[in-house]
Amino acid sequence: MRFIGQAALIAGAIVLGACGGGQKNAATTTDTTSAAPAPAAAASESAATPAAGGAATTASAGAAITGKTWEVKEIGDEKGYRYEPATLTIKQGDGVKFTMVSGGPHNVAFDSTTIPAGATAQLTANMPNQMAPLQSNFMMNPGDAETISFAKVPKGVYPFHCVPHLALGMKGTITVQ
């Protein structure tokens, strides 16, 4: 079980890394607020100098985890349905690995209206497997896991919940510092 989880994590990191490295210059193509596509030279400059406004949060490529990966368990038992821990404070660039322990299926879902402004595009890109926008696939069996990168997302509070068990109070909060 432990090896399976680690293999999945490594595979996820490789996929995220490959996307993040290869598509950097394409990241602004979905930003339709710009009057014209930026030439390659301008793209290089913006990569070297952090943007002052919110434009940098528009992205189509997943950003690889550069910091620590935190562990959250998904549990459903006689005490109820919950994430453990349900409250996390992490750094921008960290990742969170959600692992199914019992009582599934569980998943991890965010609401674009409750996460920080401008976070939706990058967080969507950072979630490896989604059955709907900002909703991870179901984790059916013990040991199934999904790792979500919080690299390049805006700092702030990210409430999340389990779609099948929201009514039963299975939810949590990740604060990105």
Closer Cβ to Cu ion, 70 or 83, answer by number: 83
How many Å apart are CA 115 and CA 55, to the nearest integer?
17
> Cβ of residue 15: shortest distance to Cu ion, in angstroms?
25
How many Å apart are CA 94 and CA 72, to the nearest integer?
13
With CB under 5 A as the contact rule, the residue among 170, 172, 174, 176 that binds Cu ion is 170
Q: How far is CA 109 from CA 31, 32, 85, 135, 152, in A?
A: 24, 27, 16, 4, 19
Position 139 contacts Cu ion (CB under 5 A): no
> How many H-runs (helices) and E-runs (strands) does the chain carry?
3, 10
Taking CB under 5 A as the criterion, which residues in 26-65 touch Cu ion? none
Closer Cβ to Cu ion, 88 or 170, answer by number: 170
How many Å apart are CA 163 and CA 65, to the nearest integer?
25
The residue range among 52-60, 85-93, 133-141, 157-165 that interacts with Cu ion, by the rule CB under 5 A, is 157-165
With CB under 5 A as the contact rule, the residue among 72, 165, 174, 176 that binds Cu ion is 165
Name the site residues for Cu ion (rule: CB under 5 A): 106, 162, 165, 170
